[in-house]
Amino acid sequence: MSDFDPRSTRWLAGLVLFISFLTLSILARLYYVSLTLGPDLVAAAREKVIQERQVSASRGNIYSSDGQLLATSMPVYEIRWDAAVVTDERMTSHLSETAKALAQLLPERTATEWASYLRQQFNGKRRYALIAKNLSYSHYRKVAQTALFSGNKYKSGLIAEERFTRLMPLGGLAERTIGYQRPDATAGLEASFHETLRGHDGRRWMQNLGGNQWKPMESSYTEDPENGQDIITTLDARMQDAAHRALLHTLKKYGADHGCVVLMEVKTGKIRAMANLGKLAGDTVYSELRNYAVWEKTEPGSTFKVASLLIGLEDGTVDTADIIDTSPGVYTIYGRNVNDSHRGGYGRISLGRALELSSNTGIVKALYPKYAKNPEAFIDRMYQLGLADRSGIQIKGESLPHIPKPGEKDWYGTTLPWMFFGYGVLSTPLQTLTFYNAIANEGTMVAPSLWEATRDRGIVIDQYETHVLHPAIASKGNIHQIQDLLEKIVIRGTAKNIYTDSLSMAGKTGTCQLNYWDPESRGYQASFAGYFPAEDPMYSCIVVINRPRISVGYYANIVAAPVFRDLAMAVYRMTPQQASPAAGYWADGIKKGQERHDRLLKQQRDAALQALESGQMPNLAGWAAADAIALLEEHGYAIKLRGHGRVLRAIRQDKTIELQLG
């Protein structure tokens, strides 16, 4: 009989009990997982395969007022490659052929470089290797048809991800005005009308096929996407193109840093063109870097003299007929000189003529004594004219004008006189244009607008109505005086170089020195603001050229004014003209002939007045005797007549003038 060891029996019993306890624990855990946690785990696993996913709505389009597509959404594709699913045999058979094809389709790599890149990804079993970004659908399909990437994706490993990007069919035309809407930055109309354009995303159940590829499980949506609405802008594509070309030509010609052009419809405030072009430091290519017309505020220079004179006329402190002695072309105030660009000044001239010639000394000598003791009166008038307000344009980033006030830290003894010719105040080109547009619009200031209408599936659901900012910035009489002077500036003033018989124009030049306090960063800004046709304004326009190369030219009449003329002529040619005069060709011909005759008489009278004001004898040959007598007697001359008929010549003897008639 063998020996029995009780310890062995106890050890075996303990082992059986341990195994039994472990088995029961596992069974209990399985029971808990399958019955208690099971539904949640199944749901979580299912969510990785089947999800109710967001379906993006199509963003609305942006159109010009003449129907051109300015911005639209287009699908683009990003192609990646799961190299781990590709077999050695497939890789060996198709690598060379595919590399050659990719070199043609995606030329950023040569065929050798593509072969090396694909081999590297294959050897590393990369699951998400980048092949290309931002491909059109047709381009993507060509890549997908190459030998290595064609066929079943579980064999080729090709992964295509679709997304939508914004496309501007007209390229860089009005690019900054149209703008963009991105997670990191926004600008222009895309940003201002984002909620209108974006629409509302929908939802639908989709199944994950692997590699972030999702397939709709059914044709219907759980929530239908609502596509964005379309925006129609006030921009006219043809006028925008003309403005862009004229601006670009001048920027290149004068090597300027940047510039802008804005064309506005006088009665409505609708902006028909807004071009902004600049270049980066050291670059030679101009593009739409910033919206200078809306954002950049600078000292306007002599274009501001119109506002200064209008304020004086409204207050009754000056008259355009007041005689001002501009000699010697320098006027000293608090130890600082107000200088005329014409050395020695212009002699004794009327205040109106001082504006025509853009005489700093003439303007300041006339206005400063009237407001020196009460500068607040002048400042208050500036606010009443709307010169301290934003224009309210529908895009973000418009700067607030700056007008210094007595008592503020930037107010000095010379602040007021310097303001009269546009220094010390700050405004944007668009704000300056809004003021000039009011002059053209008989004193009614309207808000500029870039938005014409909103359209949903082809139906206009909302459209712009002209918004009046100020019903009357000044009296009609004073507005008409300013209008007359602005036309004379083009006929015989600082902008006479752009005068043409084909189209009457009115406006004011402005040459402003930038950073005049810093020799290292000094430069010039040339601008011209005005409107056309002068007698019945349809469009107002401002041109600003920043930092033209001084050695080439920087005065406003040769840099900025020609851009205005070229754009005005282009717009006038493309604007439909009345085919048949309402009153008939005969009556219309008589009317136009009379208008031409009246215009010539007006020019003759203006030239005669200019000569008399400067102390010279005017050329009166051909004048009717009655007209010559009336003009000369107005200026205090005694008249002697000899003969009959029209004036042959005029001979002056002190304060007596003999008119020889024949």
* Tens digits of residue pLDDT in 405-440: 998 888 999 999 999 999 999 999 999 999 999 999
Arch. (CATH architecture) of 237-574:
3-Layer(aba) Sandwich (3.40)
For residue 41, what are its two tokens?
């785990």
Residue 517 confidence (pLDDT) = 62
Query: Residue 509: which residues within 8 A CB-CB, separation 6 or more?
Result: 302, 303, 358, 489, 494, 495, 526, 527, 528, 555, 556, 557, 560, 561
Residue 501 has pLDDT above 70, yes or no: yes
Q: Where are the domains of the chain?
A: 79-157, 237-574, 602-661
Question: Which H/E stretch holds residue 198?
Answer: helix 194-198
Please report, for residues 295, 396, 411, 415, 544, the alpha-carbon distance to residue 399 in angstroms, rounded to integers and kept in the order given.
5, 9, 21, 21, 16
Answer for the pair 576, 283: CB distance below 8 angstroms, yes or no.
no
The pLDDT mean for the chain works out to: 86
Residue 600 has pLDDT above 70, yes or no: no
Q: Is the peptide bond between 533 and the residue preceding it cis, with omega within 30 degrees of 0?
A: yes
Residue 57 confidence (pLDDT) = 75
For residue 212, what are its two tokens?
């972030």
Residue 442 confidence (pLDDT) = 96
Please report, for residues 70, 500, 568, the alpha-carbon distance to residue 505 in angstroms, rounded to integers and kept in the order given.
31, 8, 8
Question: Does 491 or 519 have the greater pLDDT score?
Answer: 491
What's the CA gap between 407 and 537, in Å, rounded?
A: 41
What angle is formed at CA 276 by the lines to CA 272 and CA 280, rounded to 5 degrees?
170
What's the CA gap between 579 and 590, in Å, rounded?
A: 17
192-225 residue pLDDT tens: 998 999 887 777 777 665 656 555 666 566 777 7
Global pTM reads 0.76
Residue 146 confidence (pLDDT) = 93
Closest CA to 393 of 179, 165, 608: 179
Average pLDDT on 133-138 reads: 88
Please report, for residues 3, 84, 376, the alpha-carbon distance to residue 312 in angstroms, rounded to integers and kept in the order given.
134, 82, 13
555-594 residue pLDDT tens: 999 999 999 999 999 999 988 765 555 555 555 555 555 5
For residue 585, what are its two tokens?
């060709």
Task: Name the pLDDT band for 1 (thresholds 50, 70, 90).
Answer: very low
Mean pLDDT lowest among 190-194, 380-384, 393-397, 610-614? 610-614
Query: What phi and psi, each to the nearest 5 degrees, are found at residue 659?
Result: -100, 120
Residue 338 confidence (pLDDT) = 93
Residue 418 confidence (pLDDT) = 95
Under CATH, which number does the domain 602-661 receive? 3.30.10
Average pLDDT on 163-191 reads: 84
257-295 residue pLDDT tens: 999 999 999 999 999 999 999 998 778 899 998 999 999
43-96 residue pLDDT tens: 555 556 677 776 677 889 999 999 999 998 888 888 999 999 999 999 999 999
Closest CA to 565 of 617, 500, 624: 500
Handedness of CA 398, 399, 400, 401 (dihedral sign): negative
Q: What percent of the chain has pLDDT over 70?
A: 88
504-557 residue pLDDT tens: 999 999 999 987 666 666 789 999 999 999 999 999 999 999 999 999 999 999
Compute the CA torsion angle 396, 402, 407, 410 (nearest 10 deg).
110
Q: Which residues pair with 574 in a beta bridge?
A: none
